[in-house]
Amino acid sequence: MTLAKVRGLIASGGRPPIGHTMGFQLVDAGDGWAAFEGVPGPEHYNPMGTVHGGYAATLLDSACGIAVVTKLAEDQAMTTLELKTSYLKAMTEKTGKVRAEGHVISIGRRVAYVEARLTDEAGRLYATATSTLLVLSQ
């Protein structure tokens, strides 16, 4: 996949299969960055009554991965090697729309390093992530 294909996915609705399950979609991308948005709700709650951390991690991982994809050639793919997520603020159904935006910091022939942030519409920071991804030749 390349940036052109990522933009094609956005134009067709931007919802990868996991986006249907978790209620989020790819909304924007450019050279070395990508953004996903979603609205967390009670269906994403953990037993403590807040949105499960996996929701934030999934949006952040998606933003990191697609940010790398925008830098790849037709004959390349990627996979996440490592994702470190820091949770700064709990989300609930009252949080509203959140946006995960990932930015490639460095990409080489085999490894990419990406940072991402998850914010609400007011710009409040809920979580951050750093990710190392393996660049694969197909």
For the chain, domains (ranges, CATH) are 3-137 (3.10.129.10)
Torsion of Cα atoms, 41 then 60 then 36 then 16, to 10°: -90
What is the three-class DSSP state of 39? coil
Q: Residues 19-37: pLDDT tens digits?
A: 999 999 999 999 999 999 9
Quick check: 4 and 39 in contact, CB under 8 A?
A: no
Beta bridge partners of 33: 30, 103
The tokens describing 1, both together, are 């996949």
Q: Percent of the chain at pLDDT above 90?
A: 85
pLDDT single digits (tens) 34-74:
999 999 999 999 999 999 999 999 999 999 999 999 999 99
pLDDT of residue 2: 86
